[in-house]
Amino acid sequence: MNAEKNKKIYIETYGCQMNFSDSEIVASVLTDHGYSATDEIQSADIIFLNTCSIRDNAEQRVKKRLQHFHALKKKKPGLMIGLLGCMADRIKTVLLEEEQLLDVVAGPDAYRDLPRLLEQVESGQRGVNTLLSMEETYADITPVRLGTNGVSAFISIMRGCENYCSYCVVPSTRGKERSRDAGSIIRESTELFDQGFREITLLGQNVNSYSWQEGENEITFARLLEKVARINPILRIRFATSHPKDISDELLETMATHPNICKAIHLPVQSGSSRVLDRMNRKYTREEYMERVEAIRRIIPGCAISTDIITGFCDETEEDHGETLSLMRWVRFDYAFMFKYSERPMTLAADTLQDNIPETVKDRRLTEVIDLQQKLSYDSNQRDVNKVFEVLIEGDSKRSGDHFMGRNSQNKVVVFPKIDAKPGEYENVKIQSFTSATLLGDATKTHLFV
Ligand code: 5AD
Ligand code: SF4
């Protein structure tokens, strides 16, 4: 450790939960080298932006933010600016050379190299490493928990992606898929539980293809989930994201068997049309997706299902769009993230298909999808009224210090008047009413809705 380095780092994170998890790895690597993390940007010596490339607007936001930091740098000479994550390789040339905005650029597999890269900057050079790795999983690094509520935490169990959905930039930004050592995942989960955390979300681009060889035995995702669930019955487990093509009955049965594995599945459908799904290279049809939803309903009654939807993908017709709406009605998704298609460089779609749906049509279809989902989410909340859910308390409600906020197993936010309890404890709550994003209720001694 170098005393000279006693510098403060501030990390601003964009994109998915995996990126937030990566920021915690970055904080860990650097605090091990004498830096300290701060959540006050004014006191930072180094500002990192951990970036996302998933849609063009995500990149535009980061570029604006960089301009702002650049202005800060003029007022505070010596301030260093670093760009991390998915945008690193894509735009390093522009931002480093043409616009001279950056001191450090590190891709998702280069975070161990950050101390060296920062030293290079100290000696007057730029520090750049955007190499992707076949092996890096950061398995031995204990993340520094940033912005934590002390109750829920995220653990990355794999990196990269090899599904090659034709719209998606991730295989090119995050590289080959690799699973992390199962033993290190169990150890990290156990440590979190011992520190008082009560909910762990296991993260990967496609968790269902998790695989770790332990001697003769393969640890599949279902087996890993089971091992984490066995750490303690009062530790809740969640996971994201599942690919519909390989969410197995084995996994659904494991979820049904363990009460502490949360009854919520995020199952991105993207489109309700088999023709569009084929062009997206999703490797399942509308019917196969419906069959998986039926399996979830059969094996895990009461399980919430949420999804991602893209409107206006290449060649999408009105009929295709109608099939997305009808599938949404059939599944009755509890929640959805909805986007209009944004062509990304270095993707199969950019190379082989035409981004030929006019913006106005994409916008209109997106509005129709959002309007329908609002109604479906309303109906989903309505069905919860008078039910009793076990809620893990996360803290005070944002709106009122007299109320607790927590989540039920289905991942819905529940707010209720405070009782004699603490964050990290469970309480049965009877739902009385709801707003668009929150169930409202009262603590009760009544038995749980099962
Ligand atoms: N355009 C629009 N949405 C996209 N997504 C991924 N790539 C794109 C793109 N090029 C959406 C998908 C994915 C979610 C994380 O982001 O719905 O599931
Ligand atoms: Fe996450 Fe994908 Fe954005 Fe990268 S591009 S941060 S993997 S959402």
Q: Which CATH number fits the domain that encloses residue 395?
A: 2.40.50.140
Query: How far, in Å, CA of 163 to CA of 167, rounded?
Result: 11
Q: Which ligand has the shortest distance to the CA of 52?
A: 2
pLDDT tens for each residue of 326-382: 999 999 999 999 999 999 999 999 999 999 999 999 999 999 999 999 999 999 999
Task: Decide if 345 is inside a domain.
Answer: yes
Query: How far, in Å, CA of 438 to CA of 161, rounded?
Result: 33
pLDDT-based confidence at residue 5 (cuts at 50, 70, 90) = low
Which of the listed residues 348, 383, 418 is the one where a domain comes to its end? Answer: 383
Tokens (6 digits) for 46 = 């180094």
Task: Decide if 377 is inside a domain.
Answer: yes
pLDDT of residue 96 exceeding 90, the answer is no
Task: Decide if 32 is inside a domain.
Answer: yes
Query: By alpha-carbon position, which residue is closest to atom 7 of ligand 2?
Result: 170
Calculate mean pLDDT across residues 118-126: 92
pLDDT-based confidence at residue 446 (cuts at 50, 70, 90) = low
User: Is 361 in the same domain as 397?
Assistant: no
Tokens (6 digits) for 355 = 């981004």
Task: Decide if 428 is inside a domain.
Answer: yes
Q: How many angstroms separate the alpha carbon of residue 52 from the centre of ligand 2? A: 5
pLDDT tens for each residue of 34-47: 999 999 999 999 99
Q: Tally the domains of the chain.
A: 3
User: Is 316 in the same domain as 346?
Assistant: yes
pLDDT tens for each residue of 280-332: 999 999 999 999 999 999 999 999 999 999 999 999 999 999 999 999 999 99
Task: Decide if 134 is inside a domain.
Answer: no
Ranking 86-90, 316-320, 393-397 by mean pLDDT, the lowest is 86-90
Polymer length of the chain: 450
- Mean pLDDT, rounded, of the chain: 94
Q: Which ligand has the shortest distance to the CA of 55?
A: 1
pLDDT at position 450: 45
Q: How many angstroms separate the alpha carbon of residue 118 from the centre of ligand 1? A: 33
pLDDT at position 151: 98
Helices and strands (DSSP H and E) totals, the chain: 13, 21
Domain, as residue range, for 104: 3-129
Which of the listed residues 80, 97, 129 is the one where a domain comes to its end? Answer: 129
Q: How many angstroms separate the alpha carbon of residue 341 from the centre of ligand 2? A: 15
Q: Counting atoms of ligand 1 from 1, which one is nearest the CA of 270?
A: 17
Task: Decide if 139 is inside a domain.
Answer: no
Q: How many angstroms separate the alpha carbon of residue 202 from the centre of ligand 2? A: 16
What is the per-residue DSSP string for 82-112?
EEEETTHHHHHHIIIIIS---SEEE-TT-GG
pLDDT of residue 71 exceeding 60, the answer is yes
User: Is 369 in the same domain as 394?
Assistant: no
**Substitution candidate for ligand 1 out of 14, 52, 54, 314 with most atoms within 8 A of CB:** 54
User: Is 70 in the same domain as 174?
Assistant: no
User: Is 200 in the same domain as 310?
Assistant: yes
What is the per-residue DSSP string for 352-379?
HS---S-HHHHHHHHHHHHHHHHHHHHH
User: Is 210 in the same domain as 247?
Assistant: yes
Which of the listed residues 351, 383, 415 is the one where a domain comes to its end? Answer: 383
User: Is 54 in the same domain as 184?
Assistant: no
User: Is 225 in the same domain as 368?
Assistant: yes
Q: How many angstroms separate the alpha carbon of residue 428 from the centre of ligand 2? A: 36
Residue 17: strand, helix, or coil: helix
Q: Which ligand has the shortest distance to the CA of 53?
A: 2
Task: Decide if 253 is inside a domain.
Answer: yes
Question: For every residue of 204-228, which 3-state class applies, written as one string?
Answer: CCCHHHCEEEECCEEEEHHHHHHHH
Q: How many angstroms separate the alpha carbon of residue 155 from the centre of ligand 1? A: 22
pLDDT of residue 4 exceeding 60, the answer is no
Q: How many angstroms separate the alpha carbon of residue 194 from the centre of ligand 2? A: 30
pLDDT of residue 253 exceeding 70, the answer is yes
User: Is 424 in the same domain as 367?
Assistant: no
User: Is 404 in the same domain as 301?
Assistant: no
pLDDT tens for each residue of 178-215: 999 999 999 999 999 999 999 999 999 999 999 999 99
Q: Say if residues 138 and 255 touch (Cβ distance below 8 Å).
A: no
Q: Counting atoms of ligand 2 from 1, which one is nearest the CA of 58?
A: 3
User: Is 287 in the same domain as 226?
Assistant: yes
pLDDT at position 3: 42
Query: How far, in Å, CA of 435 to CA of 259, rounded?
Result: 27
CATH of the domain at 55: 3.40.50.12160
Residue 368: closest CA among 343, 335, 334, 340? 340
**Substitution candidate for ligand 2 out of 174, 203, 344 with most atoms within 8 A of CB:** 174
Query: How far, in Å, CA of 416 to CA of 394, rounded?
Result: 12
Task: Decide if 136 is inside a domain.
Answer: no
> Percent of the chain having pLDDT more than 70?
97
User: Is 297 in the same domain as 407?
Assistant: no
